[in-house]
Amino acid sequence: MKDEGSAKSEPVARAPARRRWEEEILFPLFEKKTGMQFGPTYVMRNEHKEIAAHLESIHKKVQKADPSSDREEQKLLEVLGAHNQKEEAILYPQPAVRL
Ligand SMILES: [Fe+2]
């Protein structure tokens, strides 16, 4: 049972730090080098907001000791999985973000 919980919460626990690094360092670098303000980083920022909203929904239920967060958790994992895949397959390989 502990492994299942760890497997679910691990990506969620890392999400805020990764989001901050992307929004404060990576995305501005990409935008500066490419001049694209409304390209992939715009989409990624909007998805970050969606991810944060799902996290907040789950957090509110946890605060109320409401265990009915399966739907929110599933939505979060779907958005987060697709988001991370897009960043790693499309954004990160861009020459503009390579150091
Ligand atoms: Fe991201």
- Kindly give the distance from the C-alpha atom of residue 89 to the centroid of ligand 1, in angstroms, as a whole number: 12
Number of domains within the chain:
1
Which residues of the chain are under the pLDDT cut of 70? 1-15, 99
pLDDT computed for residue 6 by the predictor: 43
pLDDT computed for residue 51 by the predictor: 92
- Kindly give the distance from the C-alpha atom of residue 1 to the centroid of ligand 1, in angstroms, as a whole number: 29
Write out the residue range of the structural domain in which residue 82 sits: 2-97
Percent of the chain clearing pLDDT 90 (strictly above): 65
- Kindly give the distance from the C-alpha atom of residue 87 to the centroid of ligand 1, in angstroms, as a whole number: 7
- Kindly give the distance from the C-alpha atom of residue 74 to the centroid of ligand 1, in angstroms, as a whole number: 18
- Kindly give the distance from the C-alpha atom of residue 3 to the centroid of ligand 1, in angstroms, as a whole number: 25
* Three state DSSP letters for the chain: CHHHHHHHHHHHHHHHHHHHHHHHHHHHHHHHHHCCCCCHHHHHHHHHHHHHHHHHHHHHHHHCCCCCCHHHHHHHHHHHHHHHHHHHHHHCCCHHHCC
Which pTM value belongs to this model? 0.78
